[in-house]
Structures are given as C-alpha cells and as structure tokens.
Structure 1
Amino acid sequence: MVLDVLFQLELADLARPVAYADLATGLGVDLGTRVPLADAREAVLEQRRRRGMVLQEDDHDTWSCGSFFTNPILSADDFDTLARRVRETTDADLVPPRFAAGDGMVKTSAAWLIDKAGFGKGYGLPGPAALSTKHVLAVTNRGEARAQDVVDLAREVRDGVQERFGIRLVNEPVLVGLEL
C-alpha cells in the first residue's frame, strides 16, 4: 500500500532520450533522440492501447494490472543454457530474445517465453481469468474473476515456463494476502 509519494519534476519541452526500440520506431526516430513531450506521451499511449494496457470499460483485455511478469535477467551462462533448452524443446532455429542488461547480464523477454511455452494470446478463455488476446503478459479479469482465479492462472503460466525452459518468472504486482 502506498501511503506517500514525492515527485520531482523537470520543466522541459522535450522528453528524456528515447531508450525503447519500439517507441523509437513508433516515433520514427533513432534511439537516444529527444522528442516533444506531447509526441512521446501519445506514442507511449498508442503502444499501450495496442497491447490492451489502457483501461477501456468495454474491453476486457484492458481489465488487468498490466504486465504481470518481469523480463528475466540472466547470467550469460544461464542465457546460453536457456538458448540450448529452447533448441531442444522447440524449433531448432528458434532463438530467445537477448538484450544487454549491464555487468555481463542478459535480459530476455517474459512474453516470448510465455508464448513459446504454449500460453498464447487468450489462453484461459472462456474462463473468468485469461491472458489478454492482445498481449500474453497481461493476466486479465474477463468480468467475473476473483483474485484467486487470477493467481491460479498466473501460477499455471509461471510453472509452465519453468517446466519448459527452466526459467522461473517473477510476478511484477505485489500480492497482498495471496501467493503465486
């Protein structure tokens, strides 16, 4: 529970340098470019809308807490083990996404792991909780879900990814009174 927040804002006409590749593509700029704040805001909202992460009353894909799992950060050796396991359990040409995470660490995509482990968009439908039909990282309430339904689905996905690829996903939302 958040009881107090302090923000320090910077007056500026330009956003911070664009550091996210999809955002740079959506804005038509190179990484590191500064763009007008209004342009950055609209581009971020557009990306979020496409993924069902801007609340809309009539769209159950938006009835979520956003991305449920964080992207795993692995040692280089652990990433190599993951890549080998992916080759052994899926199409031999499939390679997990790899992003530098500093200090020799590697970040990979939780959404990619979820999808390749067999939990595609809409997994869980027609149940009360399901993965979004727009983005597999969002565990959604289809209208009648209880917290336990959401946790049960998230646990199934987390355990399925671990069984398939040996990677244990970590939930991003803090659960109160429930455990994954």
Structure 2
Amino acid sequence: MICDVVVRRLQVNRDPRGILVETLRADWPDCYDTAGRAFGQSYYSATEPWVARDEDRWHVHQRQTDRFIVPLGDAVVALYDPREGSPTRGRLNLVRLGGSNGDQGQYLVLIPPRVLHGFVVVSATPALLLNYPTHLWDAADEGRISFSDADARLADGRPFAWDVIRDFERDAAASAPEIARAEG
C-alpha cells in the first residue's frame, strides 16, 4: 500500500431492522486527530454506473486529506504516489469499495495530501461516495493532473486508464478474478 494511505475496515452492525456503521470516530488515531487529520466538512456524491468523475485526470490536494467511503453501489478508487522522497513513489493502488464487498468488506480509505486519486463506479447502480476531508473546500487546493503527465502504470506496464478498470470489472462479472479487495 502507498505510504501514509490508510485502509480501515468498518464494523457493520446488522440486525433484523438493517445495519448501522460508524464511518468516522475521534478515537481512530489512524484516521483522525486534531493536529493533522481534523474534521473539515462532510459531503457525498452520487455517481452514475460506469462513470468516473474525471475521465483523464487525477485529483490532488496539497493540504487536504480525504477519507472516502462507498456505502451504496461499488467503486474502484485509484491512488498513485508521485511524491518526491516517498518510499512508495511510483506505486499505483486500486481499492474496491462498496456494498458488494459484504459486511466484512466495508472500508474507509484515507488519502493523504499530494497522493493522486480518483474513482470510477463499477456497479450497475449509482454509487454513493462519502468524504470527510480535513479542510473546507478550497479552490486553490483543488488540483488536477492528466494521466499522461503523471505516467502511472498498471502492473502489466500499460498506462493507467479508467477503461482498463471498466473492462476488467465488466469481465469479472462473468468469470474473471476480482480486483484485490482492501485488507484492514
């Protein structure tokens, strides 16, 4: 996993009425602290099936840490580390989040500043992504970097592209092995 990225398993509490899941707690030091990982705001986005929010570019923040959860639908979150001096510089991680992971496979992914990131919905229904960033929205901290400029590569050497993920997921629905699910 990319240095400083956190993948935290969420506890799903299920009973005959439904489920309750705690999504962020002040006593999770790997995901929250008042000094460096405070709470800034909360928002959610609903994204249509097979859609990426940015088709050909990464999101990046210089100051903000993001905390993603996908409680409905399914999405693949892509993370790429371009940071100078990072022990995982050049590494690409793909993390599948969402309801099809089952009760034991619900996660929060913490994305530190300067790690490139994005997501694509890989379910036949829209996906709901919750984010608990550390800062209020700030246009000056909202960066985009094209996939070609970042030059992130898949394990087989191909350039990263959402179409590769979509094709894999569509094939997986028939018979292929899944993208590695996050391990807490």
Structure-2-length-normalised TM-score: 0.24
- Larger fraction in helix: 1
Return the index of the structure with the highest Cα Rg: 1
Structure-1-length-normalised TM-score: 0.24
- Larger fraction in strand: 2
